């Protein structure tokens, strides 16, 4: 009876992993507290949904432009030091925003400017953080487990943070939310400082950054499993994940509800994602990872297509739970498998490409979803997105089976 527990939390044998996940669990809740406050403050100041889109784009665009380069930098410099610098910068920017809000002088353009700067910091931080997880495990067999636990922490924060943020905004104001997030970065910095032995510093190279980026892209393209995984992640980001921005339409026009209905829909998807990462925390078999990616994407695509056809709240909630579960299983398994098979000197660069496919393409997916929804209808757009994810998963699975047969 002890083996499942050992598998599920095997990576926690490492003190550094425990410290890192502990710090992240505090900081990520603070991040979601701030997300709620920034959106609410922007809308309160302007009353413009367009400005909400501008604010989101300001934070996301640097990911598309900088993450591949940032991933290459994390192969040259100590990822531990990169995280110390990026977390310190994020703390400073957040505290500046808190000061402006508490002083009552904040404007929407302060939000856009600081959001853009936080986006730049995030573009440098995320690839290093993704690769750092593999640096701090005691055994390579624990990489997948550590990735799944990190994703579990992320999704738990996604559920907890917004409710805390909403309560703080209602009772104390947005400035206190920013102050809470600024303080939460201290948890990560303390955790990084408490690590007994900093992970190895990547070997320095004289290769120019742009040439290194080209070599990383060529490496990813020539390593077929990595190329296939990145293509499927990009496909799901473009066609599958944008359904979240269209949930207000389903809540209002399809399910004839209001903000409470929207909240239930978002919570159902988030709960499914959290359960998916908890289930994956017990998986260590690399032989099952490609199959898990295929099944996750297929389940998500099928559930999303059925959700587009549903007009019953209980069924829509169940299908969004399954969609969130499938998407997170696919993404976490993709992350874990890439981290396991990539060469150590290419880890940061390849994780930069992964993060670009996962995060950087999100604005393009959102724009595509809005355009298709306007011309075809929201339900049809989501239906096509789900079917596209299902088709992509089947193509990925067939490619993996063909590769195993050739071996």
Per domain, the residue ranges of the chain are: 7-195, 209-407
Kindly state the tokens that stand for 16: 């550094």
Q: CA-CA distance, 104 to 290, in Å (whole number)? A: 52
Is-contact 269 245, C-beta < 8 A? no
Angle 50-53-57 from CA coordinates, rounded to 5°: 140
Q: Is 218 exposed, middle or buried (0-12, 13-18, 19+ CB in 10 A)?
A: exposed
- Using DSSP, state whether 74 is helix, strand or coil: coil
Kindly state the tokens that stand for 100: 């402006």
Dihedral of CA 4/29/183/172: which sign? negative
The helix (run of H) or strand (run of E) holding residue 71 is helix 49-73
C-alpha pair distances (Å), 311 with each of 171, 250, 316:
36, 9, 7
Q: CA-CA distance, 312 to 266, in Å (whole number)? A: 16
What are the tens digits of pLDDT across the range 340-357? 888 877 777 788 788 788
CATH topology for the 7-195 domain: Growth Hormone; Chain: A; (1.20.1250)
Q: Is 369 exposed, middle or buried (0-12, 13-18, 19+ CB in 10 A)?
A: buried
Q: Check residue 207 and give its pLDDT.
A: 59
Kindly state the tokens that stand for 197: 């032995």
Is-contact 136 80, C-beta < 8 A? no
Angle 110-112-113 from CA coordinates, rounded to 5°: 65
* pLDDT < 50 stretches in the chain: 1-6, 201, 204, 286-287, 405-406
Closest CA to 80 of 206, 193, 209, 212: 193
Q: How many CB atoms lie within 10 A of CB 99?
A: 15
Q: Is 285 exposed, middle or buried (0-12, 13-18, 19+ CB in 10 A)?
A: exposed
Q: CA-CA distance, 20 to 150, in Å (whole number)? A: 9
What are the tens digits of pLDDT across the range 70-113? 777 777 788 899 999 999 999 999 999 999 999 999 998 999 89
Closest CA to 159 of 278, 308, 4: 278
Q: CA-CA distance, 132 to 141, in Å (whole number)? A: 15
Q: CA-CA distance, 129 to 121, in Å (whole number)? A: 12
DSSP E strands in 93-147: the ranges are none
CATH topology for the 209-407 domain: Growth Hormone; Chain: A; (1.20.1250)
Kindly state the tokens that stand for 258: 């209001």
Kindly state the tokens that stand for 205: 């190279």
Closest CA to 362 of 123, 121, 108: 123
Q: CA-CA distance, 125 to 17, in Å (whole number)? A: 17
Q: Check residue 388 and give its pLDDT.
A: 96
Q: Check residue 323 and give its pLDDT.
A: 97
What are the tens digits of pLDDT across the range 201-255? 455 455 566 676 777 788 888 888 899 999 999 999 999 988 887 887 888 788 8
């Amino acid at each position: 009876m002890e083996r499942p527990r050992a598998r599920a939390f095997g990576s926690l044998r490492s003190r550094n992993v425990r410290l890192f996940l502990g710090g992240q669990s505090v900081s990520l809740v603070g991040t979601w507290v701030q997300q709620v406050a920034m959106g609410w403050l922007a809308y309160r100041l302007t009353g413009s949904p367009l400005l909400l889109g501008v604010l989101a784009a300001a934070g996301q665009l640097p990911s598309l432009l900088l993450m591949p380069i940032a991933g290459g930098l994390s192969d040259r410099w100590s990822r531990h030091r990169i995280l110390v610098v990026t977390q310190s910068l994020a703390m400073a920017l957040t505290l500046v925003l808190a000061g402006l809000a508490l002083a009552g002088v904040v404007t929407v353009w302060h939000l856009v400017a600081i959001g853009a700067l936080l986006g730049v910091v995030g573009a440098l931080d995320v690839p290093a953080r993704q690769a750092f997880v593999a640096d701090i495990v005691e055994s390579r067999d624990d990489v997948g487990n550590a990735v799944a636990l990190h994703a579990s922490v992320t999704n738990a924060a996604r559920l907890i943070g917004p409710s805390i943020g909403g309560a703080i905004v209602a009772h104390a104001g947005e400035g206190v939310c920013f102050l809470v997030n600024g303080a939460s970065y201290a948890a990560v910095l303390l955790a990084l400082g408490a690590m007994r032995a900093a992970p190895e510093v990547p070997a320095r190279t004289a290769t120019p950054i742009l040439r290194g980026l080209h070599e990383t892209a060529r490496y990813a393209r020539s390593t077929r499993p990595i190329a296939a995984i990145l293509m499927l992640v990009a496909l799901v980001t473009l066609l599958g994940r944008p359904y979240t921005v269209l949930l207000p339409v389903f809540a209002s026009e399809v399910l004839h509800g209001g903000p409470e209905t929207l909240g239930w829909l978002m919570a159902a998807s988030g709960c499914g994602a959290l359960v998916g990462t908890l289930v994956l925390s017990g998986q260590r078999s690399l032989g099952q990872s490609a199959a898990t990616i295929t099944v996750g994407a297929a389940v998500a695509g099928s559930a999303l297509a059925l959700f587009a056809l549903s007009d019953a709240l209980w069924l829509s909630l169940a299908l969004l739970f399954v969609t969130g579960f499938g998407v997170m299983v696919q993404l976490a398994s993709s992350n874990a498998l890439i981290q396991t098979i990539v060469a150590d000197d290419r880890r940061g660069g390849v994780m930069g490409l992964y993060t670009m496919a996962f995060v950087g393409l999100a604005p393009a997916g959102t724009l595509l979803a809005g355009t298709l929804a306007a011309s075809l209808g929201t339900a049809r757009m989501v239906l096509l997105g789900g079917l596209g994810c299902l088709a992509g998963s089947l193509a990925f699975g067939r490619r993996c089976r063909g590769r195993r047969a050739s071996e």
